[in-house]
Amino acid sequence: MNAVTDPSGDAGPPGERLIAAEGLEVAFGGRRVLEHVDITVSAGEIVTVIGPNGSGKSTLVRTLLGLQPLSAGHVWRKPGLTIGYVPQKLQVDAIMPLTVTRFLTLTGRHDRATVERALAETGVGHLADAQFHVLSGGEHQRVLLARALLRSPDLLVLDEPVQGVDFTGEAALYELIGVIARRHRCGILMVSHDLHVVMAATDRVVCLNHHICCAGTPEAVTHHPEYRRLFGARAAGALALYSHHHDHHHHTVSGAVVTPETNRPEPPHA
Amino acid sequence: MPEDFLVRAALAGIGVALAAAPLGCFIVWRRMAYFGDTMAHSALLGVALGFLLGLAPTVGVILVTTGIAILLILLQQQRRLATDTLLGILSHSALSTGLVALSLMAWLRIDLMGYLFGDILAVTALDLYLVYGGGALVLATMAAIWRPLLAATVHEDLARAEGVPTLIVRLVFMLLVALVIAIAMKIVGILLITALLIIPAAAARRFARTPEQMAVMAALIGAVAVLLGLGGSFGFDTPSGPSVVVAAMLLFVLSLVPIGRRIDG
């Protein structure tokens, strides 16, 4: 159960450390949104932050990205770290004419072939000339993912990457995220308020409610009393779903997934 | 041969329409219509300040409108009042303070209606230099900040995370809006400047598939509105500023009529 109480996880990280935060504290107008938060993400691993709405998940992400000043603690980034970011709410009004290709090249200049390759990788190669504001929920998220990939990131930061996507689409998206992590050998930090699918697609789960309640492998976290207290009845469902798949990979005694590069848990095909 | 004052009016109006178009697009994209309106309404206070300090009215207008914009951004940090309430308070307070200040300065004899609704037919050669000099500065600066401003408009956090200096870009944009208000004041009047910013942009949306196309179309539509409005003003003896805005409105309504294949987007 060490895996559960040690917020940074117990086993050695699968790869080089990409980003590490220690003792993070963020306050808005005297109200503490985050306190004593430690978190690390290493190359090749998928870390998911789960927590109820308003638990500080997006604030944590924005702090790690350097968008939110912190009141205590510090964030270390690997020198020269490139981050691909998929923000939580990105809506383009119909009043702005913007093609998908143009959206992908807003801050970086990439040639047409590179853009099309990135879109093809996330399964939306046919949308290069579509107007951004008419995309469906799933297409929208895949375009955002392609945009993040264009930067050749060492670390992908995905804030609610399956929002607006139906349940079957969710599973496919998490599968795609797993494929991307393996192919690009990048670390992934994901934020989610849903439990079921995301936990099965994850190496390490951090359960956040202003502070870190528990952290570790998905299986270890689902057994943790703090987690069950936080999510109540929904937690049981996640456990069932996770258990259904936990045969697909093996753990060390301490709970770390063995060789995550080759033996990542499959997303459920529920 | 049209008369000199009409040629000057047309040239000045077209110059303002060209400079206002790209800014108008961003004002529409960033949902800043009331923000722009508030800045414009404070221009009269700038005129009063200019007279009081012995500055050119243009300088006073740029100072006060920029000041109001910064004040608004600071006030938005508090959470008690919603932005539209703040805008309503600032907009009307600034306009009224300007009116009161000008009427207290009893020694001044100014054409208040001209400031409020524009006096395009009284454009001087000096005004033309101001419009084209200021307009060129606005367009050149817009071209320089176009890409980062567009990125910041689509998503501020994403742009910042990717290294765009969004705060600076936003401040520069606000200064440009102040400058356009200063040069457009004489042409359409401070009460109608927002119309010249947003109506051509809104009318251009349908004909554009990229942000740049929309800016160019807005410039064309704005210029046509100026010519139509001036023609109408001369022909029917109507006030010039409102006539230009009515022409822009008619073009906007025309842009809504489905004709043939719609360029969708």
- For chain A, domains (ranges, CATH) are 1-82+153-263 (3.40.50.300), 90-152 (no CATH)
A267 confidence band (pLDDT: 50, 70, 90): very low
- Nearest chain B residue to A130 by CA distance is B265
Q: What's residue B153's pLDDT?
A: 95
User: How much is the CA Rg of chain B, to the nearest whole Å?
Assistant: 18
Q: Phi, psi (5° rounding) for residue A207?
A: -100, 115
Kindly tell me if the per-residue pLDDT of A265 is higher than 70: no
- For chain B, the 3-state helix, strand and coil shares in percent, each to the nearest 5, are 80, 0, 20
- Nearest chain A residue to B145 by CA distance is A107
Listed in sequence order, the residues at least 6 apart from A232 whose beta carbon sits closer than 8 Å to its beta carbon are: none
Three-state SS for A134-146 is HCCHHHHHHHHHH
Percent of chain A at pLDDT > 70 equals: 80
Q: How far apart are CA B175 and CA B144, in angstroms?
A: 14
Q: What's residue A52's pLDDT?
A: 84
Q: Please report, for chain B, how many H helices and E strands are present, in that order.
A: 12, 0
CA distance B147 to chain A (A): 7
Listed in sequence order, the residues at least 6 apart from B229 whose beta carbon sits closer than 8 Å to its beta carbon are: B13, B240, B243, B244, B245, B246, B247, B248
Q: How far apart are CA A57 and CA A63, in angstroms?
A: 10
Q: Of A125-134, A174-183, B105-114, B184-193, give the lowest mean pLDDT range.
A: B105-114
CA distance A87 to chain B (A): 7
CA dihedral B20, B25, B28, B31 (to 10 degrees): -100
Kindly tell me if the per-residue pLDDT of A173 is higher than 70: yes
B113 confidence band (pLDDT: 50, 70, 90): confident
Show me where the domains of chain B are located: 4-256
Q: Which candidate from B205, B210, B214 shows the least CB-CB separation from A99? A: B210
Q: How far apart are CA B37 and CA B43, in angstroms?
A: 10
**What is the helix (H) or strand (E) element at residue B161, kind and residue range?**
helix B156-161
Kindly tell me if the per-residue pLDDT of A266 is higher than 80: no
Q: What three-state secondary structure class fits B244?
A: helix
Average the pLDDT over B166-173 and give the result.
92
Contact A96 B211 (CB under 8 A): yes
Contact A92 B154 (CB under 8 A): yes
Tell me the pairing of strands A204-209 and A46-50: parallel
Q: How many residues does chain A have?
A: 270
Positive/negative CA dihedral, A241, A242, A245, A247:
negative
CATH code that applies to domain B4-256: 1.10.3470.10
Contact B155 A87 (CB under 8 A): yes
Helix axes B57-75, B33-41, angle to 10 degrees: 130
Quickly tell me which residue has 């419009």 as its tokens.
B131
Kindly tell me if the per-residue pLDDT of A255 is higher than 70: no
Question: What average pLDDT does the structure give for chain B?
Answer: 90
Average the pLDDT over B128-141 and give the result.
95
Higher model confidence: residue B263 or residue B105?
B105
Note the pLDDT tens digit of each residue in B17-68: 999 999 999 999 999 999 999 999 999 999 999 988 988 888 999 999 999 9
Most confidently predicted of B167-171, B202-206, B231-235: B202-206
